[in-house]
Amino acid sequence: MKLHRFTKWTVVAAVAISGSALVAVAPNAAAAPNDDRAAVWDRLARCESGGNWAANTGNGYYGGLQFNRSTWAAYGGERYNRYPHRASREQQIAIAQKVRDARGGYGAWPACSRKLGLPR
């Protein structure tokens, strides 16, 4: 994902043309991870499974985010497929967001969340 920088004049021109006010964003906000962006989940998947969303190594954890079957089922993953590694990347992310929201952070992925500096 490519982030664009807006100068003060770009914002002024946009307001003048559209007549709408824009919400101000702190300069470093674009660099801070937004946990709803797919980029965070892709980084987590790279750490967990080498970014392989179809990972099944036989260790009891499946997919890009290395779900175990009981967590996958408990958060509704079986509506997509019985096994996480057979679900799409987007479906795995949808379930991961439910897990994260229910647990108040990325603690379900302890080593990688620590390594990536994500809130646990």
**What is the pLDDT at residue 14?**
41
pTM exceeds 0.85 for this model = no
Exposed, middle or buried by CB within 10 Å (0-12, 13-18, 19+), for 28? exposed
**If phi over 0 gives left and psi between -120 and 50 gives alpha, with beta otherwise, what is residue 90?**
alpha
In this predicted structure, what is the pLDDT of residue 53?
98
Query: Considering only CA atoms, which of 24, 120, 22 is closest in space to residue 44?
Result: 120
The arithmetic mean of pLDDT across residues 41-55, rounded, is 98
What is the three-class DSSP state of 67? Answer: strand
Whole-number pLDDT of residue 36: 57
Q: What angle do CA 27, 29, 31 make, to 5 degrees?
A: 100
Cβ atoms of 44 and 118 within 8 Å: the answer is yes
Tokens representing residue 6 in the block: 């807006």
- According to CATH, the topology of domain 34-116 is Lysozyme (1.10.530)
- Tokens of residue 119, six digits: 């809130």
